[in-house]
Amino acid sequence: MVALKNSEMRIIDDAFDMHGGYVLDFSDRTFSEFFEDEFGIQIYAEKYSFNGTSKAKHMRAFVKAEDEFAVARVLRQLWQYRESIPRYQTATDNDTLKARLVDLLAKIEGGGSVPRTDAIDRFTRDETLDELVAAIERDIGVNKPESALDRLHTYCMKKFGHLLDIRSVEWDKSEPLHSRVGKYVKALSQERELRDVTTLIVKSSIGVFEKFNHVRNNQSLAHDNELLDSAEARFIYDGVTAVLRFVKSIEAGRFES
C-alpha cells in the first residue's frame, strides 16, 4: 500500500487533470479498457470503489490500495498517454508537472513509505542520546533522510563506542566511526561463529561506515554542504540502519536466558 500525503496526492491530481472527477480525456469505458489492456486490472472492481464512483476517485483508491511497483508502473504509463494527447501537449505547465511527478515516482519506487526507525534505540540513559534519537525520528517522520544523516552518524559514533565499552575493548574518542565498527566486528567474530556470508557482509560494513564519514562531513547538515538528493540519502540511510538492525538483534540475543 502506498501512503501519500495530501500534497503528494495533489501532484497526481494535477498531472492527470483529476480535479473535476475526470482522468485526462478518458470516458468510463476507455478508462476501464486502459487498465484492462495495459495492466490486466479491473479498475472498477469493488476494492477501488471505497472513495466513490468517479474515475478520479477510483484512481485515488487504486493508489492507496496497491503496492509501490504497481502504482509507479501505472503513473508512468498514464503520463506517457498524457503526452500523446494534443490538448495537453501545449500546456504551459508540462515541465513543472512532469518534474513534480518524477520526484514523486522516485519516492514511491524508493520504498514509498517513510523509512524505518526501529534500529535507532535508546541503548543507555543519556540526555544527549535522547535528543539525538528524537531528532532522527523527527526528520524521518517527515521523510527527510537527507536531513537525518548527520545525526545518524553521531548516533553511530555513540552506539559503537557503547558496544566497545560493554566489552571492555579499548578505544579512543578521537577514533573515526569505521575504526570503532572494525573493533566491534572483530570482537563479535570472537564471541560467536557467524556464517560465511554474514561475516562477509559485516566486514564489508566497515568500508561502508568509512565512506559514511565522508557523507557526514561533506554531504550532510554537519557543515555548509550541498545535501544529497532524497533518493540517494534514503539508500544510504537504509544501508546504515540495516547494519544497526542486525547489531540490535545480535546484542539482544547476548542477554537471552
pLDDT (tens digit per residue) in 148-196 = 999 999 999 999 999 999 999 999 999 999 999 999 999 999 999 999 9
- Average predicted confidence (pLDDT) for the chain: 92
- Say how far apart CA 79 and CA 137 lie, in whole Å: 34
What single-letter DSSP state applies at residue 48? Answer: G
pLDDT over 70 (residue 114): no
From residue 17, alpha-carbon distances to 56, 157, 257 in Å are: 9, 49, 60
| Per-residue confidence (pLDDT) for residue 256, from 0 to 100 | 47
Distance of CA 238 to the CA centre of its chain: 7
Distance of CA 195 to the CA centre of its chain: 29
pLDDT (tens digit per residue) in 1-20 = 677 889 999 999 999 999 99
Q: Which residues contact 48 (CB under 8 A, 6 or more apart)?
A: 58, 61, 62, 65
**115 close to 241: Cβ distance less than 8 angstroms:** yes
Q: Which amino acid is at 138?
A: R
- Say how far apart CA 243 and CA 239 lie, in whole Å: 7
pLDDT (tens digit per residue) in 208-236 = 999 999 999 999 999 999 999 888 999 99
pLDDT over 80 (residue 147): yes
Local structure of 37: helix, strand or coil: helix
pLDDT (tens digit per residue) in 79-99 = 999 999 999 999 999 999 999
**185 close to 160: Cβ distance less than 8 angstroms:** no
Provide the grid cell at 57.
Answer: 476517485
Strand spans (E) along the chain: none
Provide the grid cell at 103.
Answer: 520526484
Q: Residue 205: name the closest of 168, 246, 171 by CA.
A: 246
Q: Residue 137: name the closest of 153, 118, 156, 150 by CA.
A: 118
pTM of the model as a whole: 0.61
User: Number of H helices and number of E strands within the chain?
Assistant: 11, 0
Q: How confident is the model at residue 257 (pLDDT cuts 50, 70, 90)?
A: very low
| Per-residue confidence (pLDDT) for residue 49, from 0 to 100 | 93
pLDDT (tens digit per residue) in 62-79 = 999 998 889 999 999 999
- Say how far apart CA 71 and CA 151 lie, in whole Å: 32
What single-letter DSSP state applies at residue 47? Answer: G
Give the DSSP H or E segment for 123.
Answer: none
| Per-residue confidence (pLDDT) for residue 29, from 0 to 100 | 97
pLDDT (tens digit per residue) in 120-143 = 999 999 999 999 999 999 998 777
Provide the grid cell at 257.
Answer: 536466558
Q: Which amino acid is at 7?
A: S
Q: Residue 71: name the closest of 97, 120, 44, 105 by CA.
A: 105
- Say how far apart CA 73 and CA 154 lie, in whole Å: 38
| Per-residue confidence (pLDDT) for residue 143, from 0 to 100 | 79
